[in-house]
C-alpha cells in the first residue's frame, strides 16, 4: 500500500466506494488522515460497513465543512454532462477535488528513494485503444528483463494498493481519460499516448474535451520522456507541443504505417517490420510478422509504444524483441486461444464496436468471423470496407438477423448461440483460416459482460480442440 501524504490529522471525504474508493480510504488512514466515506449505492455502503468503515452522508448540508479535500472515484461525473451534487458543493465551497491517481503521484516518492542506487520510475499509458495491451506488454518486457515491476490503474491493482516501489523498480500504470482529467498531480517519468478515437464524449463535453483530458498526462507535470502515437492529428499536435524541435529526443513519435525518419527519436512499423530511428539513422529492426500475441496493425502500434517506452528505460533492442515473442496477449483482446490442423482460434470479445472490430478484421487474411450480440447504432454498416478477408460470418445474439441484412454478398449463417457458432466455424475451417470472435456488439443480450462472452468462446474452442 502507498500511504497518502499531506493529510495527516485532517478529514478527507471519499465519494464512491468501489475498488479505488475503498483502497483510497485505507491509504488515507495509513497516512494519518480521517476518511469520511459515502456512496449513492446502498449496496456499496453496506459492503464498506462490512469492511469496518464508518459512513458519513456527504449529501447532507454542511457535510464538507472542515474537510481538507474530496476524493472521487473515476466513474462519477464532475463536470459533464453535469457534476455530481457533492462535487458541485465542494467546488462551491472551495474544497479541492482529486482522485486516487493524484494522491498516488503526490505520495509515491519517499525519502528512501534518494538513497537507492536506481530510484523507481513510473510509466503511465493513456489513449483510446490499446492502453491495456500496451501497459501489459511493457510490464511483461520488464519482467523478462529481470526488472522489478508492478502494474496498476485500470489494469491490475488500484494505484494506492501497490507495494512501495523497490530500488530500480518500474511501476506501469494504465490511465483512462476519467482518471487523467481530474488528477491534481500527474508526474510520470515516461508518458505514453497510443491513439485517439471518439469515446466518452458525453462525459468530456465533446472530442476536444476528451483529447484535453488525455493530454493532461503530458502537460500537467511534464514527463522526462513522451511516447506519442502520431497516426491521428491530435498526436501530431501533442508531439509538437511537447518537443522543442524535430530533433528533440525527449519526444519519441510512434506510428503503425507511417515512415518517421526526420526526428531525433522515432519508432514505426511498415509491412510488419518495426524500425527504430535516432538522429537520422536506423538503429534497430524487429520482425513483428511472427509475433503471435500481437497480430494486426493495431497491435503493431501497441508494440511500437511498448518498445519505445522500454528503450527509454534503457533496455536493449534484442531483449525487447525476445520478450515480444513470449507475450501471450491479454484475455479477450486478439487472444490466441488455440490452434488445431492449421486453424487458429482468436478471442477478441473486447471488440464491442465497429472501430475495434474493423481492426480485428484487418489483422488476418482468411477469417471465419463470429459476430453479433446487442448491436449498436448503425449495426455493422461501417465494416463493409473490411469484409474482404471474411470467408464466412457466423452470427449470434439479438442482432444476428440485423447484421445478416448488412453483410451483402459475404457468406453468412445465423447460429444464435456461441456453442453453435464455434462448432460450425470449426467444422468448416481449413488450414490457414482464423476463427475470430470479434462481435462488433455489446454482450448484454446473452452475457453480463464481454469477459464472460470471451470465456464462453474460449471454453467452446478448448472443448473442440482438446
User: For residue 114, what pLDDT is reported?
Assistant: 85
Specify whether 296 is located in the same domain as 380: no
Question: Does residue 6 form part of some domain?
Answer: no
| Banded model confidence at residue 417, pLDDT cuts 50, 70, 90 | very high
Instruction: Say if residue 312's pLDDT is above 90.
Output: yes
Write out the binding residues.
Answer: 127-133
Residue 164 sits in the same domain as residue 78: no
- 274 domain residue, yes or no: yes
Instruction: Give the pLDDT mean for 439-447.
Output: 96
Beta bridge partners of 395: 371, 414
What whole-number percentage of the chain has pLDDT above 70? 100
Binding residues for ATP: 127-133
Domain boundary among 305, 325, 345: 325
Position 156 scores a pLDDT of: 79
Q: What is the pLDDT of residue 2?
A: 97
Does position 79 have pLDDT exceeding 90, yes or no? yes
Q: What is the pLDDT of residue 328?
A: 86
Q: What residues contact residue 25 under an 8 Å CB cut-off, 6+ apart?
A: 14, 17, 35, 37, 48, 53
* Grid cell of 445 as nine digits: 443480450
Residue 1 lies in a domain: no
Residues 136 and 283 in one domain: yes
Whether 330 maps to a domain, the answer reads no
Question: In the numeric block, which cell numbers belong to residue 155?
Answer: 489494469
| pLDDT tens per residue, range 362-395 | 999 999 999 999 998 899 999 999 999 999 999 9
Residues 220 and 263 in one domain: yes
Q: What is the pLDDT of residue 110?
A: 86
Q: Domain residues for 288?
A: 108-325
Q: How many domains does the chain have?
A: 3
> Looking at residue 311, which CATH number applies to its domain?
3.40.1190.10
Decide if pLDDT at 291 tops 90.
yes
CB 59 within 8 A of CB 86: yes
Whether pLDDT at 198 is above 90: no
pLDDT at 112: 87
Instruction: Determine the pLDDT at residue 28.
Output: 97
Task: Note whether 399 and 424 are same-domain residues.
Answer: yes
CATH number at residue 38: 3.40.50.720
In a domain, 233, yes or no: yes
The verdict on 174 and 235 lying in the same domain is: yes
Note the pLDDT of residue 65. 96
- Stretch 321-342: mean pLDDT: 93
Residue 452 has pLDDT above 90, yes or no: yes
Query: What pLDDT, in 10s, does the model give residues 3-34?
Result: 999 999 999 999 999 989 999 999 999 999 99
| Burial of 192 from C-beta contacts in 10 A (0-12 / 13-18 / 19+) | buried
Residue 187 placed within a domain: yes
Residue 18 and residue 119 share a domain: no
Dihedral pair phi/psi, residue 187, rounded to 5° = -135, 60
Pick from 149-153, 165-169, 314-318, 326-330: least confident: 326-330
Residues 6+ apart with CB under 8 A from 215: 193, 238, 241
The pLDDT, as a whole number, for residue 10 is: 98
Q: Does a structural domain hold residue 271?
A: yes
Residues 435, 342: contact at Cβ < 8 Å? no
CA distance 222 to 220: 6
Residue 466 has a pLDDT of: 80
- Cell numbers representing residue 192 in the block: 505514453
Beta bridge partners of 372: 396
Beta pairing, strands 412-416 & 390-396: parallel
The domain boundary residue, chosen from 76, 98, 120: 98
Closest CA to 285 of 274, 297, 298: 274
**Beta bridge mates, 338:** 345
pLDDT, position 292: 87
Cβ contacts of 428 within 8 Å, gap of 6 or more = 368, 392
Is the same domain home to 182 and 66? no
Q: Tell which of 296, 325, 354 closes a domain.
A: 325
Domain membership flag for residue 17:
yes
Calpha distance 366→431 (Å, rounded): 10
User: pLDDT category, 235, cuts 50, 70, 90?
Assistant: very high
pLDDT at residue number 316: 98
Q: What's residue 377's pLDDT?
A: 87
In angstroms, the CA 24 to CA 72 distance is 10
Alpha carbon distance 376, 75 (integer Å): 22
∠ Cα 329 334 340 (to 5°): 95
Average pLDDT, the chain: 95
For residues 118 and 92, membership in a common domain is answered with no
Same-domain status, 182 and 221: yes
- What DSSP line would sit under 54-97, residue for residue? PB--TTSTTTTTT-SEEEE-TTS-SSSS---HHHHHHHHHT--E
pLDDT score recorded for residue 149: 98
**pLDDT bucket at 87, cuts 50 / 70 / 90:** very high
Confidence label for 60 from pLDDT (cuts 50, 70 and 90)? very high
Assess whether pLDDT exceeds 90 at residue 120: yes
The reply to whether 296 and 372 lie within a common domain is: no
Query: Do 60 and 37 belong together in one domain?
Result: yes
Q: Which residue has the cell 451483402?
A: 408
What's the CATH number where 405 sits?
A: 3.90.190.20
Amino acid at each position: 500500500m502507498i500511504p497518502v501524504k499531506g493529510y495527516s490529522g485532517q478529514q478527507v471525504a471519499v465519494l464512491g466506494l468501489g475498488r479505488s474508493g475503498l483502497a483510497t480510504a485505507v491509504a488515507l488512514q495509513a497516512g494519518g488522515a480521517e476518511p469520511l466515506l459515502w456512496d449513492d449505492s446502498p449496496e456499496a455502503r453496506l459492503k464498506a460497513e462490512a469492511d469496518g468503515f464508518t459512513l458519513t452522508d456527504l449529501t447532507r448540508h454542511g457535510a464538507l465543512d472542515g474537510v481538507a479535500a474530496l476524493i472521487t472515484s473515476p466513474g462519477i461525473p464532475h463536470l459533464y454532462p453535469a457534476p455530481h451534487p457533492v462535487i458541485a458543493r465542494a467546488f462551491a465551497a472551495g474544497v479541492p477535488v482529486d482522485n486516487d491517481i493524484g494522491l498516488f503521484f503526490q505520495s509515491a516518492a519517499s525519502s528512501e528513494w534518494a538513497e537507492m542506487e536506481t530510484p523507481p520510475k513510473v510509466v503511465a499509458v493513456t489513449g483510446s485503444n490499446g492502453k491495456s495491451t500496451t501497459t501489459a506488454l511493457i510490464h511483461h518486457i520488464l519482467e523478462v528483463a529481470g526488472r522489478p515491476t508492478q502494474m496498476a490503474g485500470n489494469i491490475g491493482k488500484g494505484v494506492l494498493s501497490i507495494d512501495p516501489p523497490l530500488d530500480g523498480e518500474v511501476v506501469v500504470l494504465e490511465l483512462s481519460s476519467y482518471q487523467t482529467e481530474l488528477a491534481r498531480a500527474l508526474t510520470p517519468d515516461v508518458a505514453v499516448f497510443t491513439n485517439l478515437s471518439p469515446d466518452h464524449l458525453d462525459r468530456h463535453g465533446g472530442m476536444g474535451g476528451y483529447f484535453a483530458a488525455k493530454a493532461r498526462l503530458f502537460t500537467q507535470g511534464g514527463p522526462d520522456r513522451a511516447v506519442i502515437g502520431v497516426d491521428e492529428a491530435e498526436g501530431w499536435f501533442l508531439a509538437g507541443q511537447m518537443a522543442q524541435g524535430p530533433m528533440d529526443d525527449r519526444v519519441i513519435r510512434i506510428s503503425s504505417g507511417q515512415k518517421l525518419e526526420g526526428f531525433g527519436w522515432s519508432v514505426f512499423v511498415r509491412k510488419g517490420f518495426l524500425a527504430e530511428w535516432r538522429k537520422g539513422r536506423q538503429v534497430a529492426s524487429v520482425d513483428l510478422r511472427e509475433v503471435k500475441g500481437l497480430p494486426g496493425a493495431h497491435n503493431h502500434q501497441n508494440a511500437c509504444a511498448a518498445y519505445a517506452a522500454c528503450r527509454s528505460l534503457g533496455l536493449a533492442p534484442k531483449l525487447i524483441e525476445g520478450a515480444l515473442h513470449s507475450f501471450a496477449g491479454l484475455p479477450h483482446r486478439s487472444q490466441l486461444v488455440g490452434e488445431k490442423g492449421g486453424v487458429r482460434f482468436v478471442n477478441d470479445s473486447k471488440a464491442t464496436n465497429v472501430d475495434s472490430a474493423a481492426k480485428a478484421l484487418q489483422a488476418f487474411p482468411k477469417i471465419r468471423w463470429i459476430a453479433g450480440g446487442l448491436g449498436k447504432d448503425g449495426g455493422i454498416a461501417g465494416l463493409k470496407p473490411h469484409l474482404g478477408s471474411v470467408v464466412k460470418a457466423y452470427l449470434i445474439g439479438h442482432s444476428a438477423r440485423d447484421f445478416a441484412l448488412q453483410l451483402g454478398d459475404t457468406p453468412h449463417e445465423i447460429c444464435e448461440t456461441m456453442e453453435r457458432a464455434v462448432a460450425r466455424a470449426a467444422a468448416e475451417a481449413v488450414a490457414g483460416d482464423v476463427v475470430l470472435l470479434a462481435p462488433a456488439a455489446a454482450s448484454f443480450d446473452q452475457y453480463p459482460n464481454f469477459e464472460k462472452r470471451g470465456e464462453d468462446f474460449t471454453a467452446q474452442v478448448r472443448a473442440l480442440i482438446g
